[in-house]
């Protein structure tokens, strides 16, 4: 919404669009309420959460994000045919050049130019106390677990803040803190609320990552639109600025009753469950087509050769696939059901494919713990 967003013109009764100014704070940097380092909300004397910004702050940030339009050849403000291949360009005449009051008492001086205003505004958000716990918690949710403990969030916040020796915002340090935290490395079952539902797209991509493809060059490229059709997920294709699901979504029932969240369940219903099964059917039992280039399109299959040698022993095959796909977390009940299905299958390839299919559609594969 900040494309072609122009400075105010009171004579025409036009004012900067405020959507992006609100979204960049609410969704992408500091959130709605002030946070403690462990991600818990700060409370005022009346027991209410403390807002991080108000409408005046939104209006001031909206003035910052004025003057931007599409770049590229023959760029101009309000160009009819936008060029999406080049970065946006600042058009100074359409930028609000007056001073601006940001969060924490920061003032942007008048006349310093649009791009400097934007740099300073982003620094203002980056240095806000909320940035560490707000961003850290959501990264933990995407990478490790939906319900990190306050202590886990605090340790990641400390890494973001530079308290562990790295510069503030060093994402290498943040990722190390997330992935090497004791909670992330603990044996399954150590923390009762540990784990997350895998997004449908990541489940499908996990299958390709686990087995790779057998093709002339060992390479498989796809636009992935068949995934979008079935799973309603595709990179850079969220239905709104709020992404595919909100970070605090709690499905009705035991999870919500326990005060927990499970964001990815926003995508889960009877249709999506069947769609995931259809995806594994496509990837396992049919050819994969490289559709990024000109015909003839190269065709590939999952590389199952290393597992065909185990096909004579259903239990050994299942043990190996359990380690590869579910990190040895298949329950005894699931194992028995899969083995009972595999034993009558004589064809080695079909036995391997069936084993992978049944593990892929099992709860233990759907949930990352």
* pLDDT tens readout for residues 277-333: 888 888 888 877 776 666 767 778 888 999 999 999 999 999 999 999 999 999 999
Token pair recorded at residue 118: 């934007």
Same domain flag for 65 and 142: no
Is residue 101 a part of any domain in this protein? yes
Phi then psi for residue 362, to 5 deg, are: -80, 155
Is residue 362 a part of any domain in this protein? yes
Is residue 7 a part of any domain in this protein? no
Is residue 242 a part of any domain in this protein? yes
Same domain flag for 106 and 218: no
Q: Which of 103, 126, 149 is the last residue of a domain?
A: 126
Q: What is the mean pLDDT of the segment spanning 197-204?
A: 91
Is residue 28 a part of any domain in this protein? yes
Q: Which of 87, 106, 126 is the last residue of a domain?
A: 126
Same domain flag for 301 and 326: yes
Same domain flag for 258 and 286: yes
Strand ranges for 33-124 from DSSP E: 68-69, 89-90, 100-101, 107-108
| Among candidate residues 84, 116, 85, the one with its CA nearest the CA of residue 100 | 116
* Neighbouring-strand partners of residue 89: 69
Same domain flag for 155 and 232: no
Phi then psi for residue 33, to 5 deg, are: -130, 150
Residue 368: CB atoms within 10 A of its CB come to 22
The predicted model scores a pTM of 0.90
User: Are residues 200 and 275 in contact, defined by beta-carbon separation less than 8 angstroms?
Assistant: yes
Phi then psi for residue 196, to 5 deg, are: -155, 155
Strand ranges for the chain from DSSP E: 68-69, 89-90, 100-101, 107-108, 196-197, 213-214, 288-289, 299-302, 367-368
CA 281-286-292 angle, 5° bins: 110
Same domain flag for 281 and 233: yes
- 288 CA to centre of own chain: 25
Q: Residues near 59 by Cβ (< 8 Å), separated by ≥ 6?
A: 16, 18, 21
Q: How many residues does the chain have?
A: 369
Is residue 52 a part of any domain in this protein? yes
Same domain flag for 355 and 206: yes
> Residue 162 is part of which domain span?
131-185
CA end-to-end span of the chain: 39
Is residue 283 a part of any domain in this protein? yes
Mapped onto helix, strand or coil, the DSSP state of residue 89 is strand
Lowest-pLDDT range, 62-76, 90-104, 229-243? 229-243
Q: Between the CA of residue 217 and those of 191, 205, 214, what are the distances in Å? A: 43, 19, 8
Same domain flag for 259 and 296: yes
Q: Domain count of the chain?
A: 3
Same domain flag for 112 and 246: no
Is residue 10 a part of any domain in this protein? no
Listed as own residue / partner, the contacts of 85-94 with beta carbons closer than 8 Å and 24 or more positions apart are: 88/3, 90/114, 90/115, 91/67, 92/67, 93/67, 94/6, 94/7, 94/66, 94/67, 94/69
Same domain flag for 272 and 151: no
Residue 202: CB atoms within 10 A of its CB come to 15
Token pair recorded at residue 248: 């605090």
Same domain flag for 258 and 358: yes
Q: Over 80: is that where the pLDDT of 128 sits? A: yes
Same domain flag for 116 and 66: yes
Q: What is the mean pLDDT of the segment spanning 229-243?
A: 85
Give the model's confidence band at 1: pLDDT under 50 very low, under 70 low, under 90 confident, else very high: low
pLDDT digits (tens, 9 = 90+) for 69-102: 999 888 888 877 788 888 999 999 999 999 999 9
Q: What is the DSSP letter of 243?
A: -
Half-sphere exposure for 81 (CA within 13 Å, toward CB): 2
pLDDT of residue 193: 92
pLDDT of residue 184: 96
């Amino acid at each position: 919404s900040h494309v072609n967003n122009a400075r105010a013109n009171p004579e025409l009764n036009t004012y900067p669009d405020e959507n992006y100014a609100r979204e960049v704070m609410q969704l992408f940097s500091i959130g709605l309420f002030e946070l403690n380092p462990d991600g818990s909300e700060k409370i005022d004397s009346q027991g209410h959460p403390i807002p991080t910004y108000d409408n005046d702050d939104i209006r001031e940030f909206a003035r910052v994000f004025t003057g931007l339009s599409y770049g590229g050849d023959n760029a101009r403000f309000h160009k009819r045919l936008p060029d999406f291949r080049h970065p946006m360009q600042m058009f100074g005449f359409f930028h609000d050049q007056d001073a601006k009051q940001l969060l924490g008492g920061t003032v942007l001086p008048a006349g310093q130019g649009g791009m400097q205003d934007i740099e300073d505004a982003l620094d203002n958000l980056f240095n806000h106390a909320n940035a560490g716990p707000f961003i850290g918690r959501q990264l933990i949710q995407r990478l490790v677990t939906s319900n990190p403990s306050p202590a886990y969030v605090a340790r990641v916040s400390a890494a973001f803040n530079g308290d562990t020796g790295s510069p503030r915002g060093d994402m290498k340090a943040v990722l190390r803190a997330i992935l090497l935290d004791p909670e992330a490395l603990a044996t399954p079952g150590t923390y009762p609320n540990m784990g997350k539902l895998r997004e449908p797209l990541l489940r499908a991509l996990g299958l390709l990552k686990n087995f790779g493809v057998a093709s002339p060059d060992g390479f498989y490229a796809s636009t992935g639109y068949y995934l979008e059709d079935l799973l309603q997920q595709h990179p850079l294709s969220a239905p709104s600025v709020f992404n595919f699901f909100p970070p605090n979504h709690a499905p009705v029932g035991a999870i919500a009753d326990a005060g927990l969240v499970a964001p990815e369940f926003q995508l889960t219903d009877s249709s999506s469950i069947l769609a995931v099964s259809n995806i594994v059917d496509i990837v396992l039992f049919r050819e994969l087509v490289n559709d990024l280039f000109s015909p003839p399109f190269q065709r590939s299959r999952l590389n199952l050769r290393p597992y065909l040698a185990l096909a004579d022993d259903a239990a050994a095959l299942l043990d190996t696939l359990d380690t590869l796909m579910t990190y040895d977390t298949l329950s005894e009940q699931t194992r028995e059901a899969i083995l009972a299905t595999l034993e009558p299958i004589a064809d080695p390839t079909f036995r391997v494919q069936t084993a992978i299919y049944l593990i892929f559609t099992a709860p233990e594969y759907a949930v990352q713990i």
